[in-house]
Homo-oligomer: A and B are copies of this chain.
Amino acid sequence: MLRRSLLTLCVALVAALANAAPKQIDLLITGGTVLTMAGPTIERGSVAIDDGKIVAVGLSSDIDRNYTAKTTIDARGKAVMPGLINTHTHVPMTLFRGIADDRDLMDWLQNFIFPAEAKNVTRDFVRAGTRLAAAEMIRSGTTTFTDMYYFESDIADETKKAGLRAVLGETLIDFPAPDNKTWDAAIDYMRGYVKQWKGDRLVTPAFAPHAPFTVSREHLIQVRALATELGVPILIHVSETKNELQQVAEKQNGMTPGKYLDSINFLGPDVVAAHGVWLTAEEQAIFAKKKTGVAHCPESNMMLASGIAPVVDMLHAGINVGLGTDGPAGSNNNLDMLEEAASAARLAKVSKGDPKAMSAHAALEMATICGARVLGMDKRIGSLEAGKQADVIVIDLQQPKIQPVYNVESAIVYAASGSAVDTTIVDGKILMRGGKVLTVDVPAAVAKAKQIRDAVLQSLKK
């Protein structure tokens, strides 16, 4: 009887000690203003991270005593929030940044971008461009990006090396591409690419049929079927310019691009439509019903004079809308998602004639959790919640540009820009700390970018 009581006591003591003893974890971010994007902002909050995942979020006074961390980041005076999610870009085009701005779209495409791509885009080129873009994205707090380009398997490899998360769509188009000269070769490439990367922790391979006017109906139907078969998402430009509307109408019995895609059962929750500038109310209802997300790219739409996307209407219609920078060659020209969020809010306000049309909070949602929904990844990323992957950024609020702070969301969207990001974490791994990028050799990436610029300029002279 005594032995039994002693045993019970011991078990109880061990249990109590186990409860009391702080749990060992990889990383603790403590003392910051935590924007979870899943509930109210936490002043003096902590985010506990272990094995790539968030294990707890809450008041530092509650969280910190429960954990001892291998690494602790002091976030006092800083904001802690989910990493930014860029839902549409073309990262290797960083190497064409500013090559031909302030021109008509067709002049820009036909006299600069297409010849420059035809003559220069190789595996080496896309790798160099991805490294440069990765440095820029890590520096400015993007943790997940969505790409449409060529040699996407090489882009995937560099993305993984940089430690970023990405949905990477191999571009499929009805004319010879830099990597695959024929449609069938591109489809073959896709099968191998998906086989190699599907299930990767960071990289999600995707199909990226270029647009409804550059890929035939038969090819779009083929892509739709293959994407379903292989279980990977589809990225596509939709309704970006008036010119596209005209071309689609001419070829597809007067249909608008969104209606046309719906008519061939192309749309679904696994499709990300970039731009959607000219989506009609009817198309918006279809997109909402089919759960097809839209990547809103306000700076690109402004820069190329494509038009002003009906972003407020799309949100009201129930469409998942994320933010995208688009490629940094003539259509932005940078990958700064905080600047993009500010532009999104400001453009929505002025175009609606209503300063309440889009709040700082709504813009940050588009840049985080709504972007995750667009990519079908909101169970894994987009907010700071226990169980999600640890994609987290820390923003230094102490710059004179940002102070004083009355409202942290307003400060981040309207006053800060990407340069205020201090720390970038993806999948629990620190990619930048104290403004220093750790996973990309930045001087080497910049030096290589200059070399390639010289070669590109040379190639255009020929």
Contact = CB atoms under 8 A, between A and B. Distances in A.
A98 B410 contact: yes
A349 interface: yes
Given A303-B355, A417-B419, A453 B103 contact: no
B414 A332 contact: yes
A411 interface: yes
Give this chain's copy count: 2
Given A339-B417, A453-B404, A360 B446 contact: no
Contact of A303 (B98, B308, B334, B414): B414
Contacts of A333: 410-411, 414-415
A271 B352 CA distance: 32
A222 interface: no
Interface string A284-309: 00000000000000010111111110
Interface string A407-438: 10011001101110000000000000000000
Contacts of A457: 406
Contact of A445 (B299, B343, B350, B400): B400
Nearest to A447: B403
Interface string A441-462: 0100110011011000100000
Contact of A418 (B103, B302, B401): B401
A95 B415 CA distance: 13
Contact of A398 (B98, B406, B446): B446
A331 to B, nearest CB: 9
Given A332-B414, A414-B333, A415-B333, A104 B400 contact: no
Interface stretch (A133-141, A230-238, A249-257, A368-376): A133-141
A40 interface: no
Contact of A307 (B98, B133, B353): B353
A303 B346 contact: yes
B401 A450 contact: no
**Residue of A95, A360, A406 with highest tally of chain B CB at under 10 A:** A406
A450 to B, nearest CB: 5
A302 B346 contact: yes
B105 A415 contact: no
A191 interface: no
Contact of A453 (B139, B402, B406): B406
Q: Sorted from nearest, which 3 A-B pairs have the closest CB atoms?
A: A302-B346, A404-B453, A419-B419
Nearest to A132: B400
Nearest to A134: B400
A57 B356 CA distance: 48
A350 to B, nearest CB: 4
A352 B403 contact: no
Given A401-B139, A401-B336, A350 B307 contact: yes
Nearest to A329: B406
A308 B104 CA distance: 22
B406 A97 contact: yes
Contact of A97 (B133, B332, B398, B403): B403
A262 interface: no
Given A139-B401, A333-B410, A334-B401, A415 B97 contact: yes
16 contacts: A96-B406, A97-B405, A98-B407, A100-B406, A101-B355, A102-B345, A102-B356, A104-B354, A108-B355, A305-B354, A333-B415, A334-B401, A400-B445, A401-B418, A404-B449, A417-B417
**Residue of A95, A349, A355, A419 with highest tally of chain B CB at under 10 A:** A355
Contact of A356 (B103, B356, B449): B103
A352 B407 CA distance: 34
A59 interface: no
A353 B305 contact: yes
A328 B343 CA distance: 16
B302 A349 contact: yes
A313 B346 CA distance: 22
Contacts of A405: 97-98, 453
